[in-house]
Chain A
């Protein structure tokens, strides 16, 4: 579990060190190094504690990935809105962007709340100056 997570992080970031991982897990790097090399076995309690920490980290990662995906949806929606041939419809946007209408609407909900998009008539949506700043 610990080794797999370390390798996953190392693949994502070649500079991710045993020392960095030790900081994440709250261990000293010498002990962690022994665990990773299989020279030291973790007690059940220690393993459960690390799993909890890794689970928490994984949830943080999921949140970060979801946030990045949502921002990508917002950018893609705004790019479509700026097109001259744009038709104001979540369904049409969803088809064009190959997203679910709910994903398009989640992007619209945030764009409207943040004042980055305005629906100024039944046939016209615009990207606001705030977005262009």
Chain B
């Protein structure tokens, strides 16, 4: 089964400043009313939703998230095919599960399973 890209995440130095820019420049609706204070960007029209998260280090970047039915199984499949695990599975306060891998080309991908 093919797993779809359902979410993007911009890793930025200053999420508040970034949110102000995206609201002004792109008209995006951004909401942080959740336990993490994670800034979610509403999907507009044909687009997909995303979010803003602080950059741990390095250059700002955009990460795509692939939705899977089982994060552990997806990590095992990715590892078996040469990926490295950057962040193992985490359970977020709202129940979503996420992990981050680096594929064999070095591209960082988020893996997620939305709460049921």
Which residues in A have some Cβ–Cβ distance to B below 8 Å? 88-92, 94, 101-102, 104-106, 108-110, 112-113, 115, 118-122
Contact = CB atoms under 8 A, between A and B. Distances in A.
Interface string B32-60: 10011110000000000000011111000
Interface of B: 11, 14-16, 32, 35-38, 53-57, 86-88, 90-95
B67 to A, nearest CB: 18
Contacts of B91: 119-122
Q: In terms of DSSP, what is the predominant structure of the interface of chain A?
A: helix
Contacts of A92: 35
A62 B88 CA distance: 32
A102 B14 contact: yes
B90 A109 contact: no
A118 B53 contact: no
B37 A118 contact: no
A106 B54 contact: yes
11 contacts: A89-B93, A90-B37, A104-B37, A105-B36, A106-B54, A106-B56, A109-B11, A113-B57, A115-B88, A118-B88, A119-B92
Given A102-B54, A110-B57, A112-B87, A91 B92 contact: no
Nearest to A113: B56
Contacts of A89: 35-36, 93
B7 to A, nearest CB: 16
B93 A105 contact: no
Contact of A105 (B53, B57, B90, B94): B53
B31 to A, nearest CB: 13
A109 B53 contact: yes
B56 A110 contact: yes
Given A89-B93, A113-B87, A102 B37 contact: yes
Contacts of B16: 102
